Copies of this chain bind each other. A is one copy, B any other.
Amino acid sequence: MPVSIKDIAKKAGVSPSTVSRALNDHPRISTKTKRCIRDLADVMGYVPSAAARNLVAKGSATIGIAIADLLDPYYTRQISGLEDAAARHSYQVMLSSFYRDSERELAIIHDFHQRRMAGIIVTGSEAAQAYLAPDNKFFMPVVLINRPEYPFSVSANGATGAKKVVEHLIKLGHRRIAYVTWGSEHVDSSNRLRDYRIALREHNIALDETLIVAGDGGVTGGIKAVTHLFALSQPPTAIFAFNDMTAIGVINALRRRGHEVPRDFSVAGYDDLEMAAYYYPPLTTVRQPTYRLGQRAVIMLLKLINEERDVAPEVLEPEFVLRASTAPIGNKLVAGSEV
């Protein structure tokens, strides 16, 4: 049974309020009793009850963080930014993952609600509408990461990243550029698909819908995508994958078919995982502003907590990273003649 403030009071022969004052170094208390009580508390192993504190204080200095997938480095890297920023403003953090399940997400939010969090941040929300609903009765501010349609959000600009990749491939001479999505062929929460299309159009390249194939955000999705693409009468010469893990799947599948990257096909990823630079071949990709995403989200949330109303959605820019998994299309032709 934990030691309470009363236990200390009894043993010290003082009132509970004196103990409270001693422990919170209140001005109106003698240095001597303060010292004495603190020592006693120490010896008895006193640890204050957060529940009781929060009860009287009406809420805690804790922010709840709900994350789509703990196993995806793209998300966990945001957490460092979140935690550092929160710590800097002396906020605690409570973390939960909903594994891309909207029901679990809502359960987590409910839990945060019960715990009377100062505010919450959700990254990769599967139930963003819930926060937009006009009758939602949250009594705590919410910031979403990567849901730019939400008024209080911080997002990475998926469009500009995709554009840079596609233009890079075009500059290398590629015309048949495939895109491997995450999810179905035509859903794309990240705006990448949209700007893949725009970039092609701007360069007068006819869009071939058969070059857009579905992945699953992981290695297996990339592997399957290659099977689909090679069933086409005219396969692509370059493949732009939703993320690095997908790109790795693509490269593996190509290798299994006896092709070499980037000699025979160019492949680009997205995210710039730690791995990407050390893969073989090193991946051409897009570095996401993950750390800053987390950081800015906390800043925005703190503004909302302090009821400042000058908050607008933020969009951070990703950075194109040129490595060795892409090459001029010429290489392929040369290589082709070698085979």
Contact = CB atoms under 8 A, between A and B. Distances in A.
Interface of A: 1-2, 45, 47-55, 60, 70-71, 73, 76-77, 79-80, 83, 92-97, 99, 110-111, 113-116, 137, 139, 218-219, 245, 248-249, 251-252, 255, 274-275, 277-280
B248 A278 contact: yes
A111 B1 CA distance: 17
Contacts of A80: 70-71, 99
Report copies per complex: 2
A79 B50 contact: no
A252 B324 CA distance: 14
A122 to B, nearest CB: 15
Contact of A95 (B47, B52, B96): B96
A93 B96 contact: yes
A139 B47 CA distance: 10
A114 B48 contact: yes
11 contacts: A47-B113, A47-B137, A49-B114, A50-B116, A51-B54, A51-B60, A51-B115, A79-B97, A94-B95, A94-B96, A252-B280
Query: Nearest 7 A-B pairs (CB), nearest first?
Result: A45-B137, A51-B54, A50-B114, A280-B280, A95-B95, A51-B55, A50-B115
A2 B116 contact: yes
Nearest to A48: B114
A60 B137 CA distance: 24
A164 B63 CA distance: 45
Nearest to A281: B280
A57 to B, nearest CB: 9
Contacts of A249: 278
A95 B53 CA distance: 21
A50 to B, nearest CB: 4
A51 B275 contact: no
A65 B134 CA distance: 35
Contacts of A73: 71, 73
